Amino acid sequence: MTFLHAPYPAGRPRRLRVDDFTRRLVREHVLTPDDLIYPVFVLEGKKRREAVASMPGVERVSLDLLLPVAEDCVRLGIPVMALFPVIDAKRKDERGSESANPRGLIPTVVRELKKRFPELGVMTDVALDPYTSHGQDGLLDKAGYILNDETVEVLVKQALTQAAAGVDIVAPSDMMDGRIGAIRTALEKKGHALTRIMAYSAKYASAFYGPFRDAVGSAANLGKSNKKVYQMDPGNTHEALHEVAIDIAEGADMVMVKPGMPYLDIVRRVKDEFRVPTFAYQVSGEYAMLKAAAQNGWLDHDAVMMESLLAFKRAGADGVLTYFARDAARMLLNR
């Protein structure tokens, strides 16, 4: 494609930057509260609140303390809250059995949120790492290798349990082969045809997940192990398109790229190639870096928060999972 430009002085690009109203008039991409998904960490019990040391401003909270947060999301116009469980070590085992407990933490929280705030979308993580004693997203064989098909069977049970509780969106983040098709088939058979699937389609084996693993309590269990046999190699881009294509073909309604800013090139390639609802996760490590730099006075907190979120929109993301969601929504509304 060839673009024609008037030569200087007939062409002066700075004319369109001369004042605020003109800059707003010609702005190509904008961020609104509708673009935000707010991830939260929920604890068992009541009146429990725990700060996540590696994520300043982020807390693990019990359901009773989560309800005012949900109410705030509704008031701010944030469409969806994403739930991540913090499970007591006594409930963890090698198979992540607690993940499919209909009276477990996540189904209980989903039912209460949908009863009190039906207009707030609720998304749940489909993965076993918060529930396994070894911290991996799947079942292990005797050599410690992650079993694919056996893991998918457990993930299907987890997804069905969440759907039965009334969740709006299930989000498989495990990166097992074939899990989207298996979950979609099971949802259809059990009468959950309208339960949406947001697939973590291009999820990389990233070092940016550290604070999240601290928050959900899987870091200690994982130890020196890693997830490179199922999460993607950070050096690959074509593979991401292959993964996304498979998930769409298996019935994903939306796809996600994770992490976010270090992988904006992947977001752009996915959106350009498939033209489907595409999301990105501004992960815990990204959040922690910006927070730490701002606390040290090295960066303007609000300015870099908003600039980083706008970058996702510019790269092609339809929405962003971010721990900044409530702060960003407040700024947007106050404007």
Q: Which residues are catalytic?
A: 203, 258
Three-state DSSP state, 116: helix
Q: With contact defined as beta carbons under 8 Å apart, do 114 and 166 qualify?
A: yes
Query: What gap in Å lies between CA 254 and CA 248, rounded to an integer?
Result: 8
Q: With contact defined as beta carbons under 8 Å apart, do 42 and 81 qualify?
A: no
Residues making up the chain, counted from first to last: 335
Count CB neighbours of 155 within 10 A: 27
Write the CA distances from 32 to 118, 158, 229, 311, integer angstroms: 21, 32, 37, 13
| Token reading at 322 | 């971010």
Query: What gap in Å lies between CA 76 and CA 70, rounded to an integer?
Result: 10
Query: What gap in Å lies between CA 68 and CA 293, rounded to an integer?
Result: 29
Q: With contact defined as beta carbons under 8 Å apart, do 262 and 311 qualify?
A: no
Phi, psi of 288, rounded to the nearest 5 degrees = -65, -40
Report the alpha-carbon angle 282-309-173, nearest 5: 25
Phi, psi of 216, rounded to the nearest 5 degrees = -90, -5
